[in-house]
A and B are shown apart, each in its own frame.
Chain A
Amino acid sequence: MPKKKDNDIISKIPKWVWLLLSLLAAVLLWTALSRNPATANSFYPLPEVFASAKTMIDRGFLFQDIASSLISAGIGFALGFLFGVPIAFLMAWYRPVRYILEPWIQFVRNIPPLAYVPLVVISAGIGRKPQIIVICLATFLTICVTVFQGVINVDETLIKAARVLGANDTVLFIKVIFPATTPFIITAIRLGISAALTTLIAAESTGAIAGLGMRIKTLSTLFDTAPMLLYIIIVGVIGMLAEKILKFFERRLTSWQEKREI
């Protein structure tokens, strides 16, 4: 932990100044990389990258792609969450469920989605359905594993304390296990969003007609680097915005946690 004195100077500078500094550093680094002959082919000058936004809008792609990806990722994530959380609780609660499911979850989790995409397409055809399935699977696995860890890590003495105060299984679940697991559920959402976004390219390689991942792949085969970079930046920004929204809820829901001040 840093000494208190350093900490004070650092915390006196407002957060938005830090954000600005961070942005400035990134722009400087990018500019340097775009000037350096060894990396110039990958890092187009920033003005060019941003100018490509206009071309993509004019061609009618940009908003269509963003919307398409958000729909696929959103539905896939929502389904993954809806399945992942209850199954994680079941796995933690009933050992048979755990013993049967856990090996397979660990097994599938480490296979790159790109590898099983063709299998999904064979059965689900092309279009939005396979995209949603692939994203759902990726988020489901991540969320399930994370929430499961949270449930089995609930402090045993809290469970004992609730029992001696008269809690039955239902009360125990609603009033102890569930609130004790909220921090893990939020972490699971965070990792799930990230899984959904990082799976976009794989998911949209199923013959999608629009989408950020599909467009990045198409642009890369055309060596159309400036708009490709723009799209990559957009994916990153979407992730950051989601994180911001999540942080907002996290502060409300888990402020009771003992946290180290970092």
Chain B
Amino acid sequence: MAGEARDIKVQIKGVEKVYEGRNGKTVALNGVNLDIRENEFICVVGPSGCGKSTLLNIIAGLLEPSAGEVLVDGKKVVGTGVDRGVVFQQYALFPWLTVKKNVEFGLKLKKDITPEQREETAMKYIRMVGLEKFVDSYPKELSGGMKQRVAIARAYAVNPSLLLMDEPFGALDAQTRTQLQTELLRTWQEEQKTCFFITHDVEEAILLASKVIIMSARPGRIREILDINIPYPRNQETKILPEFTQLKNYIWNIVYKEYLEVQQ
């Protein structure tokens, strides 16, 4: 029991979130409970508006829950922390900084590293995402896929143990998305990290995840938790396995039902 408890990276306990807007209250999350284990790759799917981003922002410490709490490594989340990295769908690169300076942004805020170490770490992650030729480029000179690679390198550079990603590949074309999925799988296997990854793409979820969380809308809560028992390393060919197709149909059916409910 004790060993297992130490294995738990994130505990989400009775988290609720109510937004008070001009047109009344929106219950975005209504009693979410979830344990995430060390080094798990969690993918969250669900109809849009079911509170996925809200949950991610609460774990990140960017939002406060209306009730309940989130524990990371046993400590209650209050505000942001560099133990939790975030990759946003809109890249969120600082447009006035070069690729290298973007990746160094978080490193510069750390007190205990020398400029040499900073440079070395930044370059390591820029190489990891294959952008060593673009270190001095500005974000406006990069394609969407390259921008997201920089954002991933920037998040990795501060070495968070938990990586939160909110539809990071959602704005990319199919081919770039496939590429980045493969790269992400590889880096996740190289640098053990716990991942919390939101997507609206069921295939993407199954390909990446060790566990898929299906959320239901109205009220936003967890509908089903599904272990994906396809062994890693996975790649695009994983998608043609019969169990992959089975899982895909299964998840898609639930998500589609949820989607229909939202429509009503």
Contacts and interface: CB of A to CB of B under 8 A. Distances in A.
Contact of B80 (A163, A180, A255, A256): A163
8 contacts: A161-B92, A161-B151, A162-B94, A164-B62, A164-B86, A179-B96, A257-B140, A258-B95
A235 interface: no
B62 A257 contact: no
Interface string B124-153: 000000000000001110000000000100
A99 to B, nearest CB: 18
B52 interface: no
Interface string A153-174: 0010110111111110001000
Nearest to A167: B109
Given A158-B94, A179-B96, A256 B140 contact: yes
A1 B82 CA distance: 44
A153 to B, nearest CB: 14
A126 interface: no
Most A Cβ at <10 Å: residue of B60, B93, B96, B139:
B96
Nearest to B57: A160
A176 B94 contact: yes
Contact of B106 (A160, A166, A180): A166
Contacts of B158: 165-166
B84 A164 contact: yes
Given A160-B86, A164-B85, A258 B140 contact: yes
Contacts of A180: 96
Interface of B: 60-62, 80-82, 84-86, 88, 90, 92-97, 105-106, 109-110, 138-140, 151, 154, 158
Contacts of B95: 256-258
Given A161-B86, A161-B92, A182-B96, 14 more contacts: A161-B93, A164-B61, A164-B80, A164-B82, A165-B82, A165-B105, A165-B154, A166-B81, A166-B106, A175-B94, A176-B94, A256-B95, A257-B95, A258-B140
A157 B90 CA distance: 8
A165 B156 CA distance: 10
B109 A165 contact: yes
B88 A160 contact: yes
Contacts of B82: 164-166
A254 B110 CA distance: 27
